[in-house]
Chain A
Amino acid sequence: MSKRILAVDDSTSMRQMVVFTLKGAGYMVQEAADGQQALDVAKTSQFDLVLSDVNMPVMDGIQLIRELRALPNYKFTPILMLTTEAGAAKKMEGKQAGATGWIVKPFNPDQLLATVARVLR
């Protein structure tokens, strides 16, 4: 049974790339363009992994993580931040909100797949 991944990023090209890469590796993928959309989608289907950008309109990545962690079925789900900001501050914030870890942009498809595989084994 394929693992289900939710990809969240307000940049269409980024989203497309991630979705394409993951689907190509056999994962089932859904996408959302901001935190609120992601939250709505996450409530209707169960995902095994959430990949989310940090800076998004409406609801940003950090808030999304908080909201997801508050849901009973996402307490332990791996949530990875996709961030260009290697700075400690953002990562700290993410961790405090409950993020599992992060992937630093720019990443190439292989890196993405390796990290996802790592977390979903």
Chain B
Amino acid sequence: MTIDLSQFKQTFLEESDEGLDVLESGLLSLDSGTADDDVIHAVFRAAHSIKGGAGTFGLMEIADFTHIMETLLDEMRDGRREILKKDINVLLTSVDVLREMLEAAADDVPPSMERTLEVKKELEEALNDNGSAQISDQAPLEESEDTQSLNGDMVESGEAFKGWSIFFKPMEHMLRTGNDTVRIIRELDELGAMELTVDLENLPDFEHFDPELSYLAWNIKLIGDIEKSQIEEIFEWVDEDCELNIETLGEEGNAVEMASSAEQPEQEVSEEQQPVPQKEGGAVATPEVELAPVSTLEPVAEKVPAATTPGVEKRKEKRKSSGEGGSIRVGTDKVDTLINMVGELVITQSMLSQMGDEFSMERLEALREGLAQLERNTRELQESVMRIRMLPISFSFQRFPRLVHDLSQKMDKKIELKLTGEQTELDKTVMEKIGDPLVHLVRNSLDHGIESPDQRIAAGKPEVGVIQLNAYHQGGYIVIEISDDGAGLPRDKLLSKAITQGLASEHEKIPDEKIYDFIFHPGFSTAEQVSDISGRGVGMDVVRRNIKELGGNVEVTTDPGKGTTFTIRLPLTLAILDGQLVKVGKEIYIIPLVSIIESIEIEADKISSIAGGNEVYQLRDEYLPLIHLDQVFRMEPRELRLQDSLMIVVEGDSGKVGIVVDDLLSQQQVVIKSLESNYKRVEGISGATILGDGTVALILDMAGLIALSNNEMDEYRPRAAS
């Protein structure tokens, strides 16, 4: 019967993923000395489980590799090996390798062995260090059966024999191991023709007879073409619990060296005059021999040529994006809440329905109440449904201990990472998309923020720098703070760079916050060399853009010499937006509230034209380009005069712009519907929503809109009022 194990493979892979997380965080805490006793055991168990499962599901390379890790960890947990930093580093690298191998297994491709072999070597070296040299006594995993070594009964094995003579005396306690004498004898019986005599010598009289103990012994003749190993296998479990002697049967059918004098054929009770000299039950059943450190772990199991590593990168990417449209684990409490909410909704609905059946104007007030109730139920339902997609931000935060550990080593800096608010929840998709920006910001703190230990000491700071990640809810948003106690942002450098780039003039008085905000402008790295840690080309501007795309924003505050804090605000969900409805000509559009800085009644004298027929508006000390939606969207021109219109001031990448509208309508929470799914992407539009009257209103995308309008107009850069 073949049983298909592949259905469990998926569970194993998920489980192993979690196991690797346990491994990694456990190793990190062991490294930093913050681990309690149980950690090393948990780490060992994680490796052990992965090894076991890998073997069961046929992933031999993974099993082999994990086996070495396990051996190393076993020595550590037993106290036979000191837990050293360099070993932990090797193990951490092994975790990375394992992740890759598991991904390959998930994609059903053979793993890339190049890196695996490298790291395997490192593991083996680590193992051979420190004297605890025995690569474990486990035989190569290809053998799934435990084979006892045949100890030198060379003469007797390998030849078909007429039979065997077996003396079997269970020790008193054998039954208490759950082994059943009858079963053992039955199994022997299946091997060949059996003749059996029982030895009652040790049987006590009835009063002293304890049914839980074993007193009997047997002489068994087994005739047939039987290998000794077959017999030994049957006794495998009990060899410590019995006296056992297995001898070959001579041609004559008599036992050689059989010391029993009186031997009766068939199952007769024989009376032994002499005690049968017992050979200690150890003759055949030897304990497992420690195999010499054979290179059983050499890549013999290689069935696969070293695959190219580019495949790994691709898989990593695929894995990252496979989160979209993937699956989500939901706590049953959330599901229960949902069920309750729906229940209440149903009640309200049936109440309203009944009211509808027998309605009269007198019941108008009751109707209003019913509708208010409906609104409450719907809102609560909406909130609990959204919570289903929400996961604690710890999923995102958990990559940072490792990141900080590796990078701080690489940069020779001492850095401690503090995580708070990890249980703060946010939408799964938002979390996936905020991952890279967070990494970039943390790397930035690591690289440019925290000073080297020497510098810190010289500045009177503790040698160990601190990076803190914090998350909490505020309003309908999640706030994520990344702070460090490093050197702070270099104000003067930033200012001079801004001047060079034409974003500011020498004689302006620019508030500090604006200067610090310059770091989010494209091309704005002030580091002398762009270190490869923070990466080239992935600047703060991309971080800000990504966050904006999620409907959020990011700001920075700094205290020179003391530290810097980045604050990210994100909506709790991507499906809903707080929007400002605006009327433009015949159409209604929606502007995300988070983008709106202010709304102004347009004053005619503040409008000026510049080259190319474009208009700008003077708002206090700035000139803002005006965006006319009817032009940019090529619609019917608006009828309302400009000076009677309103201007919505929004933040663009390179400064503020003003969107001209006829009127401000309501502010409301709108459900974002996809325009793309049945049509296609439209520049300047991020989605659509359905208004209360059932009609469709389009949601404006600020970045796209500004880009569109830039294409319409000549390039314009805001400059300060002279």
A and B touch in the complex (CB under 8 A): yes
Where the two chains meet, the residues of A that have a C-beta atom closer than 8 Å to any C-beta of B are 10-14, 16-17, 20-21, 24, 53, 55-57, 69, 75-79, 84-88, 91-92, 95, 98-102, 104-111, 113, 118-119, 121
A residues in contact with B178, CB < 8 Å:
76-79, 98-100
Q: How many residues of B contact A (CB 8 A)?
A: 48
**Given A98-B178, A99-B177, A101-B236, are A107 and B144 neighbors across the interface (CB < 8 Å)?**
yes
Please indicate the chain B residues that have their CB under 8 angstroms from the CB of A79 in the complex. Answer: 178
Given A78-B178, A100-B178, A109-B5, also A88-B137 (CB < 8 A): yes
Q: Do residues A24 and B3 form an inter-chain contact, with CB atoms below 8 A?
A: yes
Q: Given the complex, which residues of B lie within 8 Å of A108, measured CB to CB?
A: 56, 144
Residues of B within 8 A of A10 (CB): 45, 49
Q: Give chain A nearest CB distance to B202 CB in angstroms.
A: 20
In the assembled complex, the Cα of A121 lies from the Cα of B11 at a distance in Å of 32
Cα of A11 to Cα of B288 in the assembled complex, Å: 27
Q: Are A102 and B11 in contact (CB under 8 A)?
A: no
The 5 closest A-B CB pairs, nearest first, are: A106-B55, A101-B237, A13-B12, A100-B178, A88-B288
A111→B2 CA distance, assembly (Å): 11
Q: Are B138 and A86 in contact (CB under 8 A)?
A: yes
Please report the C-alpha to C-alpha distance between residue A11 and residue B212 in the assembled complex, in whole angstroms: 35
A95 to B174, CA, bound (A): 10
Nearest Cβ in chain A — how far from B102, in angstroms?
Answer: 12
Question: Do B55 and A84 touch (CB < 8 A)?
Answer: yes
B410 in the interface (beta carbon within 8 A) = no
What would 20 more interface pairs be, CB under 8 Å, given A11-B12, A13-B57? A11-B15, A14-B49, A14-B52, A14-B56, A20-B3, A55-B49, A57-B45, A77-B178, A78-B178, A85-B138, A92-B240, A92-B287, A98-B178, A100-B177, A100-B237, A101-B238, A104-B146, A106-B54, A106-B141, A119-B183
Question: Assuming A76-B178, A87-B137, A104-B146, is B15 touching A20 (CB within 8 A)?
Answer: no
Picked from A53, A88, A119, the residue with its CB within 8 Å of the CB of B287 is: A88
Chain A residues within 8 Å of B41, by CB: 57
A85 neighbours in B (Cβ, 8 Å): 138
Partner of A13, one of B45, B53, B139: B53
The digit string for B185-226, where 1 denotes a CB below 8 A from any CB of A, is 011000000000000000000000000100000000000000
For B236, the chain A residues whose CB sits under 8 A away are 101
**How many angstroms from the CA of A10 to the CA of B51 in the assembled complex?**
13
Is B69 close to A, CB under 8 A? no
Q: Are A86 and B9 in contact (CB under 8 A)?
A: no
Binary CB contact string for chain B from 124 to 163 against chain A (1 if under 8 A, 0 otherwise):
0000000000001111010011100000000000000000
Contact at A102–B237, with CB atoms within 8 Å? yes
Distance in angstroms from A14 CB to nearest chain B CB is 6
Cβ-closest chain A residue relative to B234 = A118
Task: Choose one: A69, A76, A87, A113; the contact of B138 (CB below 8 Å).
Answer: A87
Give the chain A neighbours of B53 by CB distance below 8 A.
11, 13-14
A86 smallest CB distance to B (angstroms): 5
Cβ of B514 within 8 Å of any chain A Cβ, yes or no, is no
A/B interface sample: 18 pairs, CB < 8 A: A11-B15, A12-B15, A13-B12, A14-B12, A17-B5, A17-B8, A76-B178, A86-B146, A87-B136, A87-B137, A88-B288, A95-B241, A101-B179, A101-B238, A105-B52, A109-B3, A110-B1, A121-B183
Contacts of A69 in B (CB 8 A): 176
Choose one: A13, A87, A88, A104; the contact of B144 (CB below 8 Å). Answer: A104
Residues of B contacting A13 in the complex (Cβ-Cβ under 8 angstroms)? 8-9, 11-12, 15, 53, 57
B52 and A84 form a contact (CB under 8 A): yes
Residue B42 at the chain A interface, CB threshold 8 Å: yes
Hey, which chain B residues are within 8 Å of A87, CB to CB? Answer: 136-138, 288
- A14 to B45 alpha-carbon distance, docked (Å): 14
Which chain B residues lie closer than 8 Å to A119 at the CB level? Answer: 183
**A105 contact from B56, B187, B212, Cβ within 8 A:** B56
Question: Could you say which of B1, B44, B52, B146 contacts A102, with CB atoms under 8 Å apart?
Answer: B146
The answer to whether B48 touches A84, judged by C-beta atoms less than 8 angstroms apart, is: yes
Chain A residues, CB < 8 A from B241: 95
Select the residue from B51, B146, B236, B238 with max chain A CB neighbours within 10 A: B146
* Residues of B256-301 whose CB lies within 8 A of A: 287-288
Nearest residue, chain B, Cβ from A91: B288
Tell me if B404 counts as interface (CB < 8 A to partner A).
no
When distances are taken between beta carbons in the complex, the residues of chain A under 8 Å from B237 are 95, 100-102
A95 to B45, CA, bound (A): 21
Taking the closest CB of chain B, its distance from the CB of A106, in whole angstroms, is 3
B49, A11: Cβ atoms under 8 Å?
Answer: yes
Whether A76 and B3, one on each chain, are in contact in the complex, defined by CB atoms closer than 8 angstroms, is: no
List of B residues within 8 angstroms of A104 by Cβ: 144-146
Residues of A within 8 A of B3 (CB): 20-21, 24, 109-110
Using Cβ atoms and an 8 Å threshold, which residues of chain B touch A107? 56, 144
Contacts of B8 in A (CB 8 A): 13, 16-17, 20
Closest to A21 in B: B3
User: Closest A-chain residue to B238, C-beta based?
Assistant: A101
Judged by a CB distance under 8 angstroms, whether B175 is at the interface is yes
Say whether B63 faces chain A, with CB atoms less than 8 Å apart.
yes
**A55 contact set on B, CB distance < 8 A:** 44-45, 48-49
Residues of B within 8 A of A102 (CB): 146, 237
A21 to B288, CA, bound (A): 30
Tell me which of B44, B52, B178, B238 has the highest count of chain A C-beta atoms within 10 A of its own C-beta. B178
